[in-house]
């Protein structure tokens, strides 16, 4: 499996999402793994009792794009005297992400005046990207210690600051005539965060062109681009495309400030519902750990998913993602023969062809039909499937791993995973 995995079976790989906050050094305790959505957590939480709890609440809200609520919670932490300078910095980050430059700069200066001295965060935190080109931010930066103005790598060596690095990467890709979709998508997303709209549009469109059916996150970022530019019709069109292509974050649609201009569009509620329906996460238990292969298979657990997606494909038979989800649910209900047919439909409809073909191979392996499994492993690797780890260790392939033919597909996946040019 690749990307977000329930273990042992290929799911859809997500790339990066615009406006995903970092806030690494200024956090307290992050949301525990398997703790569920922020919405679920909020319903369970008692009201904060002190500044520390208000700060923790604010951090969770910030990481769910609920920035206005986070800002108010950070202000409560400040009122209660808890980590005042850091909370002010985080408020600046929140305002930057909702495109309120004036307040972002005011609170950033307040944080510095109150003693915030983590200059590496100011240099490297992506939350501040929307204000980096503002002359007032540049002036503020000019007053910081010169030795701390650059992003540091793991060895501590200085690199370009985020704005210079983004420009450098963009110009390098143009100069090289790069067709690396991941790099174009990454630099396009970074340019969007920096509000360099001209370069963002070029980078994102090239990312979609070169990544093909693996570009759902780039499509989402392009929807954010059009929303920020005020082009609501193009924004809503690309948002819908991203959902059909596999973008899987209903909370992003609900709270991402970059989509604010789209939420009043007549089609937005319908797309939000589509996103909720096509998200397999709704069938996960928040506290579930999928480290043991036996925990995945359950007819009772996956029966609602099967009913949902069987009904969906009856009325929308050309949605590849729905067929993929149906195959997934059938596979984990141990209905592998039916899963094969569902995944084949996903392949036919062009939905993540490499991953869907790999899943067909897994289902055939579980049925102990080796020849068919190898036929579909061949299709998967020819379509670019590159997860060497999955092919090496996936429990679903246990019935074919001892076959002499298996090695060639492992090598094919390894070749597909050849090193890419690493952005500096």
pLDDT at residue 15 above 50? no
Give me the pLDDT at residue 8, please: 43
Helix residue ranges, H only, 38-151 = 38-44, 51-62, 67-79, 84-97, 101-113, 119-124, 135-142
In angstroms, how far is CA 184 from the centroid of its own chain? Answer: 16
C-alpha atoms less than 13 angstroms from C-alpha of 342 in its C-beta half-sphere: 25
Q: In 10 A of CB 209, how many CB atoms? A: 13
40: left (phi over 0), alpha (psi -120 to 50) or beta: alpha
3 state SS of 25:
coil
What is d(CA 331, CA 85) in angstroms, rounded to the nearest whole number?
51
| Length of the chain (residues) | 424
> Tens digits of per-residue pLDDT, 326-351?
999 999 999 999 999 999 999 999 99
Residue closest to 23 by CA, chosen among 129, 101, 131, 126? 126
Q: What is the pLDDT of residue 44?
A: 53
pLDDT in tens, 71-87: 999 999 999 999 999 99
364, 419, 357: which is closest to 397 by C-alpha? 364
Q: How far is the C-alpha of 193 from the C-alpha of 169, rounded, in Å?
A: 15
- Confidence grade of residue 5 (pLDDT, cut at 50, 70, 90): very low
pLDDT in the model for residue 284: 76
Is 90 exceeded by the pLDDT of residue 163? no
Contact 289, 6 (CB under 8 A): no
Classify residue 247 by its DSSP letter. -
- pLDDT tens, 185-195? 999 999 999 99
The CATH number assigned to the domain with range 38-153 reads: 1.25.40.10
Identify whether the C-beta of residue 351 lies closer than 8 Å to the C-beta of residue 246. yes
Give me 24's structure tokens.
Answer: 């690494």
C-alpha–C-alpha distance, residues 279 and 251, integer Å: 11
pLDDT 10s digits, 282-294: 987 655 544 445 5
The pLDDT tens digits of the residues spanning 22-51 come to: 332 244 333 332 334 434 444 456 789 899
Note the CATH number of domain 163-281: 1.25.40.10
- Where are the chain's structural domains? 38-153, 163-281, 294-416
Say if residues 187 and 203 touch (Cβ distance below 8 Å): yes
Q: What average pLDDT score do residues 372-380 get?
A: 96
Q: Which long-range contacts (CB under 8 A, 24 or more apart) does 1-6 make?
A: 1/387, 1/390, 1/394, 2/355, 2/386, 2/387, 2/390, 4/248, 5/290, 6/284, 6/290, 6/296, 6/332
- Regarding predicted confidence, which is higher, 308 or 298? 308
Tell me the C-alpha distance between 21 and 213, whole Å. Answer: 26
Distance between CA 160 and CA 171 in Å, rounded?
14
Comparing CA positions, the residue from 67, 57, 55 lying closest to residue 96 is 67
3-state secondary structure of 152: strand
Which residues sit opposite 152 in a β-bridge? 158
Residue 318 CB-density burial (10 A; 0-12 exposed, 13-18 middle, 19+ buried): exposed
CB-based contact 385:416 (threshold 8 Å): yes
If we measure between CA atoms, which residue out of 351, 356, 357, 352 comes closest to residue 379? Answer: 357
Whole-number pLDDT of residue 286: 56
pLDDT digit string (tens) for 84-101? Answer: 999 999 999 999 999 999
Residue 113's contacts (CB-CB under 8 Å, 6 or more residues apart) are none
**Residue-wise pLDDT tens digits, 174-187:** 999 999 999 999 99
Contacts of 335 by beta carbon, 8 Å cutoff, 6+ apart: none
pLDDT of residue 273: 97
Burial status of residue 141 (CB atoms within 10 A of its CB: 0-12, 13-18, 19 or more): middle
Supply the pLDDT for residue 7: 37
- Two tokens, residue 39: 């919405």
pLDDT at 45: 63
Q: 294-416 domain in CATH 1.10.3720.10?
A: no
Q: Are 96 and 104 in contact (CB under 8 A)?
A: yes
Measured in whole angstroms, how far is the alpha carbon of residue 370 from the centre of its chain? 35
> Comparing 38-153 with 294-416, is the CATH topology the same?
yes
């Amino acid at each position: 499996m690749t990307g977000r995995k329930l273990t042992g079976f290929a799911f859809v790989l997500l790339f990066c999402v615009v406006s995903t906050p970092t806030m690494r050094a200024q956090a307290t305790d992050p949301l525990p793994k398997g703790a569920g959505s922020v919405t679920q957590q909020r319903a369970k939480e008692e009201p904060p009792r002190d500044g520390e709890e208000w700060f923790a609440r604010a951090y969770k809200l910030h990481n769910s794009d609920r920035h206005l609520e986070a800002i108010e919670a950070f202000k409560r932490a400040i009122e209660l005297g808890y980590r005042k300078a850091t909370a002010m910095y985080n408020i600046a980050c929140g305002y930057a992400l909702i495109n309120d430059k004036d307040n972002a700069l005011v609170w950033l200066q307040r944080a510095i005046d109150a003693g915030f001295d983590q200059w590496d965060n100011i240099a490297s935190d992506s939350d501040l990207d929307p204000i980096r080109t503002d002359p007032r931010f540049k002036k503020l930066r000019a007053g910081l210690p010169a030795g701390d103005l650059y992003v540091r790598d793991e060895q501590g060596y200085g690199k370009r600051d985020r704005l210079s690095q983004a420009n450098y990467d963009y110009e390098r890709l143009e100069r090289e005539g790069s067709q690396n979709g991941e790099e174009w998508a990454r630099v396009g997303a970074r340019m969007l965060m920096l509000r360099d709209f001209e370069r963002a549009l070029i980078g994102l469109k090239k990312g979609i062109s070169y990544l093909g059916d693996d570009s759902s996150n780039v499509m989402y970022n392009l929807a954010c681009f059009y929303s920020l530019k005020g082009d609501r019709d193009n924004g809503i069109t690309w948002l819908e495309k991203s959902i059909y292509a596999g973008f899987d974050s209903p909370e992003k649609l609900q709270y991402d400030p970059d989509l604010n201009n789209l939420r009043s569009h007549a089609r937005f509620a319908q797309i939000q519902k589509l996103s909720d329906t096509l998200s397999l996460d709704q069938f996960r238990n928040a506290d579930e750990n999928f480290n043991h292969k036996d925990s995945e298979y359950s007819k009772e657990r996956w029966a609602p998913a099967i009913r949902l997606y069987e009904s969906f494909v009856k009325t929308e038979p050309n949605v590849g993602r729905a067929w993929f989800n149906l195959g997934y649910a059938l596979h984990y209900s141990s209905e592998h023969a039916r899963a094969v047919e569902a995944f084949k439909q996903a392949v036919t409809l062009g939905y993540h062809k490499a991953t869907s073909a790999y899943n067909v191979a897994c289902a055939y392996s579980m049925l102990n039909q080796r020849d068919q499994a190898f036929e579909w492993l061949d299709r998967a690797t020819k379509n670019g499937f590159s997860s060497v780890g999955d092919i090496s260790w996936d429990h679903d392939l246990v019935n074919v791993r001892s076959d002499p033919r298996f090695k060639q597909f492992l090598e094919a996946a390894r070749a597909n995973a050849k090193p890419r040019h690493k952005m500096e």
